[in-house]
Amino acid sequence: MKYPFSKEATEYVKALGFSIQDLEKEEFKPILDRAEERVKEALLGKREVRRPLREEIEILSFPVSIIMTSAMNNQVVKRRFADFEAKRITEWLKEENCENLIKVAKSFNWRIRALRGEIFALHFVDYLKNAVNFNEAKWKLVNRVLSNGEVRLSKNDVARLLEEEVRKYIENKLNVKLDIELPEALNERVEKLTQIASKEVKRFKLEETPKELNQEAFPPCIKNLYQSVTKGLRVSHIGRFTLTSFLLNIGLKPEEVI
């Protein structure tokens, strides 16, 4: 249950009947403290050395830290937090056995299976959804072993791709509009974090998502279709349909494809 995006963690929080207004109660102070600490760690780019906390505090502090970060209403801070939390989870993923790693991957509906040793086979669409924005040559599809529509990956490769999946998951959570009144105890901490962010935001060195797709990660046929369309060349109806279906499958929004 240590992964805050897991079905088990979500059901656990629901079963508690946890309300944002509960944070005004003294017994919930450790959750507020940990949530504030998570956001502060992301802003400063370093983790605090501390004794392990109870699992329920870690689980409950995640949605609270999401609310805190969202309330700051700063896109750079949101990206920073999502990136930092995703990297934290990657450290855990690298320590997982193959069975648990696949379980986490399938929570994002990945089509993945274990082969011999610590080698995995991942459907190429699930691969490209996350590798398409990686610029290193090793992530280009032409540099991968591809068999029957599946990409061969090491355990560390799977963990890195899951990091990107988790980052996008957190960013989506952060971009949901808050339509609740925050308790004073939470607002006070948001104000403190906003002050820290105002000092730190200028030195953030995030790896921004590329403004253009990394075409080198595309299969050769898709790359040719994409280049033809962007150059204004004539492309058959079936070619446009194939390209559109591919781009939607790797996560682009309809308005971005149009």
User: HEC states along the chain?
Assistant: CCCCCCHHHHHHHHHHCCCHHHHHCHHHHHHHHHHHHHHHHHHHCCCCCCCCCCHHHHHHHHHHHHHHHHHCCCHHHHHHHHHHHHHHHHHHHCCCCHHHHHHHHHCCCCCEEECCCCEEEEEHHHHHHHHCCCCCHHHCHHHCCEECCEEEEEHHHHHHHHHHHHHHHHHHHHCCCCCCCCCHHHHHHHHHHHHHHHHHHHHCCCCCCCCCCCHHHCCHHHHHHHHHHHCCCCCCHHHHHHHHHHHHHCCCCHHHHC
Number of domains in the chain: 2
pLDDT above 80 (res 254): no
Neighbours of 45 (CB within 10 A): 13
Query: Do 158 and 117 share a structural domain?
Result: yes
pLDDT digits (tens, 9 = 90+) for 213-227: 667 678 888 888 888
Question: Which of 151-160, 220-229, 244-253 has the least mean pLDDT?
Answer: 244-253
Please report the pLDDT score of residue 236 as a whole number: 77
Output the six-digit token pair for 138: 């090793």
pLDDT in tens, 165-191: 999 999 999 998 888 889 999 999 999
What is the pLDDT at residue 125?
94
Q: Are residues 197 and 231 in the same domain?
A: no
Domain match, 102 and 180 both: yes
Buried-state track 107-117, b at ≥16 Cβ within 10 A, e below 16: bbebebebeee
How far CA 255 is from CA of 127, 247, 248, 252, 258, in Å, comes to 22, 11, 10, 8, 5
**231 inside domain:** yes
Q: Is residue 145 part of a domain?
A: yes
211 in a domain, yes or no? no
Count CB-CB contacts under 10 A for residue 160.
18
Same domain, yes or no: 227 and 131: no
Residues 41 and 159 grouped into a single domain: yes
Lowest-confidence pick of 106-110, 124-128, 225-229: 225-229
Are 226 and 186 within one domain?
no
Can you tell me the distance from the alpha carbon of 119 to that of 102, in angstroms, rounded to the nearest whole number? 11
Examine residue 55 and state whether it is found in any structural domain, yes or no.
yes
Q: Give me the pLDDT at residue 45, please.
A: 87
Q: Are residues 223 and 118 both part of a single domain?
A: no
Boundaries of domain holding 24: 7-203
Q: Indicate if 72 and 129 belong to the same structural domain.
A: yes
Is the pLDDT at 210 greater than 90? The verdict is no
For residue 2, being part of any structural domain is answered with no
In a domain, residue 1? The reply is: no
Q: Same domain, yes or no, for 67 and 159?
A: yes
Please state the rounded mean pLDDT for residues 85-93.
Answer: 92
97: CATH: 1.20.930
